[in-house]
């Protein structure tokens, strides 16, 4: 089994997704977009993970590879591959499938709750009624045509969606570990301008208990188990 991920900056890697895939027996490869690496053949993977990054889907002038990446993501979805998008990755999925990506009224940076949108359908992933998760985003997206709404928050309506049976986009970061939280704070602390009730100071972001990471990493495991039911 082969998992491939698209990485946009060196400091946003797989986080807790890595040990989950290792335990499930996946061979893991990646494309470093920031090094202008080429995309592999879709036949060479059984799962595509699209990670986050500080750039916007709409920054094509500064990052021209976004055009090819969006096409690659769309081709993967149309080929029926399981696809997971995290933050920028979710926005890329939405954009690739024709939905709009734009600035959210509020930036969300830190630990804030999401609320699951229940469906009563076993073919749709169900988030908890409420879960405290890690956020770092200033943009949002419209839901792609045919997508199911999975989660919202007070500060951002479209927090997660599912497209078909095997594509999930998450605006928030369930893969975050203490190490990756420190990395993103170190590289993006210029965004910690306390101009919004949904931006926490650095000390608050990094002072959460280990159980907070355990909880979101467990929830990420549930998402992966849903996307890859025969591989766990």
**How far from 107 is each of 31, 81, 156, 172, 215, CA to CA, in Å?**
28, 31, 9, 12, 23
Structure confidence by residue, pLDDT tens digits, 22-41: 999 999 999 999 998 889 99
The whole-number pLDDT of residue 156 equals 95
* Extended beta strands in the chain, E state: 2-7, 27-32, 47-50, 83-86, 101-116, 131-141, 148-152, 160-163, 167-170
What's the pLDDT band for 231 if we cut at 50, 70, 90?
low
Q: In the prediction, which pLDDT does 204 show?
A: 96
Reply yes or no on whether the pLDDT at 195 is more than 80.
no
Active site residue 87: yes
108 is catalytic: no
pLDDT one-digit tens code per residue, 53-95? 999 999 999 999 999 999 999 999 999 999 999 999 999 999 9
Could you confirm whether 173 is annotated as catalytic? yes
What residues contact residue 211 under an 8 Å CB cut-off, 6+ apart?
none
The percent of residues in the chain predicted with pLDDT above 90, rounded, is 92
Convert the pLDDT of each residue in 95-146 to its tens digit: 999 999 999 999 999 999 999 997 778 899 999 999 999 999 999 999 999 9
pLDDT confidence of 232, banded at 50, 70, 90? Answer: low
Task: List the catalytic residue out of 8, 12, 69, 87.
Answer: 87
| Domains of the chain and CATH, by start | 2-231 (3.40.50.880)
Tell me, what's the pLDDT at 44? 86
């Amino acid at each position: 089994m082969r998992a491939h991920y698209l990485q946009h900056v060196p400091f946003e890697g797989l986080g807790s997704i890595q040990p989950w895939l290792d335990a499930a027996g996946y061979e893991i490869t990646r494309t470093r977009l920031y090094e202008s690496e080429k995309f592999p053949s879709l036949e060479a993977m059984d799962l595509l993970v699209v990670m986050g990054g500080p750039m916007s889907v709409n920054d094509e002038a500064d990052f021209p590879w976004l055009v090819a990446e969006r096409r690659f993501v769309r081709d993967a979805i149309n080929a029926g591959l399981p696809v997971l998008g995290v933050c920028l990755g979710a926005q890329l999925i939405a954009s690739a499938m024709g939905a709009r990506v734009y600035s959210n009224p509020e930036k969300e940076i830190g630990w804030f709750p999401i609320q699951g949108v229940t469906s009563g359908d076993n073919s749709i992933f169900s988030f908890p009624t409420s879960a405290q998760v890690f956020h770092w985003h200033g943009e949002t997206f419209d839901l792609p045509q045919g997508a199911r709404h999975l989660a919202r928050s007070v500060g951002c309506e479209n927090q997660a969606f599912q497209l078909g049976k095997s594509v999930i986009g998450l605006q928030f970061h369930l893969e975050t570990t203490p190490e990756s939280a420190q990395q993103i704070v170190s590289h993006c602390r210029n965004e910690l301008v306390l101009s919004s009730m949904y931006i926490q100071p650095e000390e608050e972001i990094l002072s959460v208990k280990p159980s907070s990471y355990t909880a979101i990493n467990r929830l990420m495991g549930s998402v992966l188990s849903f996307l890859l039911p025969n591989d766990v």
